[in-house]
Amino acid sequence: MKTTKTVSDGVCVISLDGRLDTVTAPQFQPELDAAIVEHKNVTLDFSGVPYVSSAGLRILLAGHKRAAAAGGFMKLVHVSGEIMEVFEMTGFADILEIEDHKRQ
């Protein structure tokens, strides 16, 4: 998985490209943690994410909690219909802040 980070108006935007799974989630976690510590407010652009495993879900939940504890937020944008179904089936749709998801 590749990531691209930009900062706009105090919000760190991380664009993900690839699977967020048991291999890539542990590699992504330090980057997400550092963004939360540095900026507090983080947006994850999921337009390039075709798959999320339980390991990816765990990283997202931990990031959400860290951002809230720091007084900031973590939100997801451009979530595909397939990924949104995973979030809905697991209850993550009720926990995570998700905008601009695509229904299919």
How many Å apart are CA 40 and CA 21, to the nearest integer?
Answer: 24
Domain that holds residue 20: 2-99
The per-residue pLDDT for range 9-19, each reduced to its tens digit, is: 999 999 999 99
Would 59 be classed as within a structural domain? yes
Asked whether the predicted pLDDT for residue 104 surpasses 60, the reply is no
Would 8 be classed as within a structural domain? yes
User: What is residue 91's predicted lDDT score, i.e. its pLDDT?
Assistant: 95
What secondary structure does DSSP assign to the chain, as a single string? -EEEEEEETTEEEEEEES-BSTTHHHHHHHHHHHHHHHHSEEEEEEEE---B-HHHHHHHHHHHHHHHHTT-EEEEES--HHHHHHHHHHTGGGTSEEES----
The tally of domains found in the chain comes to: 1
Would 70 be classed as within a structural domain? yes
Would 23 be classed as within a structural domain? yes
The per-residue pLDDT for range 58-68, each reduced to its tens digit, is: 999 999 999 99
Q: What percent of the chain has pLDDT over 70?
A: 95
Asked whether the predicted pLDDT for residue 94 surpasses 50, the reply is yes
Asked whether the predicted pLDDT for residue 57 surpasses 60, the reply is yes
Would 104 be classed as within a structural domain? no
CATH number at residue 19: 3.30.750.24
Would 84 be classed as within a structural domain? yes
